[in-house]
């Protein structure tokens, strides 16, 4: 997953502190199932497939875009601008989030979608009438999507989680994925997951 701790402003919950830049010197941890061994991934491909993430062998899960919302947030990255982010969970992850179950059950998958943040001229025109000075921001261009997959045996060396970072359908390189687990260590008390389930308004 992307990594790059920066000045963070959370909206509706804790922010996943991973970004698409792998930092040198970050704790490197290999999973129990390295990329040079072919093993089944959650989406059914093998770990050495070009569509799977290095080290962990995680592929893009079918239908993830229809999963339930966990939370949304924004993050400001030093020198990189602002992003809007949304975390989604499969049924197993959502159940754990709602019930506050830790650690997450095997089979939990969390998706994090990231976009650039841009001002909406159209929205501002509408809002400035009744609410002068109001600024509206919306998603801009897509940046990446990340996944955390819980398998306590397969990924025992990385807290039970496998990681993946994709731009479009292309996974990031090995160096990027080597930094994933180290980024999540500060969230160890929440089973390495930064996101919290956002309550209904």
pLDDT, tens digit, 9 for 90 and up, residues 71-101: 999 999 888 889 999 999 999 999 999 999 9
The pLDDT of residue 50 is 78
Could you tell me if 184 and 192 are in contact, meaning their C-beta atoms sit under 8 angstroms apart?
Answer: yes
Kind and range of the H or E run holding 92: helix 91-99
Kind and range of the H or E run holding 117: strand 109-119
Among 160, 176, 191, which residue's Cα sits nearest to residue 33? 160
- Quote the CA–CA distance of 37 and 55 in Å, as a whole number: 9
- Quote the CA–CA distance of 199 and 201 in Å, as a whole number: 6
The pLDDT of residue 177 is 98
- Quote the CA–CA distance of 101 and 115 in Å, as a whole number: 29
End-to-end CA distance of the chain: 29
Encode pLDDT of 110-145 as tens digits.
999 999 999 999 999 999 889 999 999 999 999 999
% residues pLDDT > 70 (the chain): 76
The pLDDT of residue 49 is 56
| Domain ranges for the chain | 8-115+143-190
Identify the sign of the CA torsion 39, 40, 43, 46.
Answer: positive
Q: Is residue 173 scored above 90 in pLDDT?
A: yes
The pLDDT of residue 68 is 98
Facing residues of 7 across strands? none
Q: Is residue 30 scored above 90 in pLDDT?
A: no
């Amino acid at each position: 997953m992307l990594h790059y701790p920066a000045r963070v402003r959370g909206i509706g919950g804790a922010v996943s502190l991973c970004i698409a830049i792998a930092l040198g010197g970050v704790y490197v941890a290999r999973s129990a199932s390295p990329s040079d061994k072919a093993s089944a991934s959650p989406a059914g491909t093998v770990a050495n497939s070009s569509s799977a993430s290095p080290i962990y062998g995680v592929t893009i899960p079918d239908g993830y875009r229809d999963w339930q919302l966990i939370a949304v947030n924004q993050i400001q990255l030093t020198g990189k601008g602002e992003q809007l982010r949304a975390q989604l969970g499969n049924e197993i992850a959502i159940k754990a989030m709602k019930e506050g179950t830790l650690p997450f059950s095997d089979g939990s998958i969390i998706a994090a979608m990231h976009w650039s943040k841009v001002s909406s001229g159209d929205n501002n025109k509408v809002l400035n009438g009744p609410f002068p000075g109001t600024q509206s921001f919306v998603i801009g261009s897509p940046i990446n999507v990340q996944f955390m997959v819980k398998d306590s045996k397969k990924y025992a060396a990385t807290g039970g989680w496998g990681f993946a970072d994709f731009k479009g359908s292309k996974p990031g390189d090995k160096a990027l994925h080597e930094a994933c687990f180290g980024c999540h260590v500060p969230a160890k008390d929440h089973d390495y997951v930064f996101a919290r389930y956002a309550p209904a308004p």
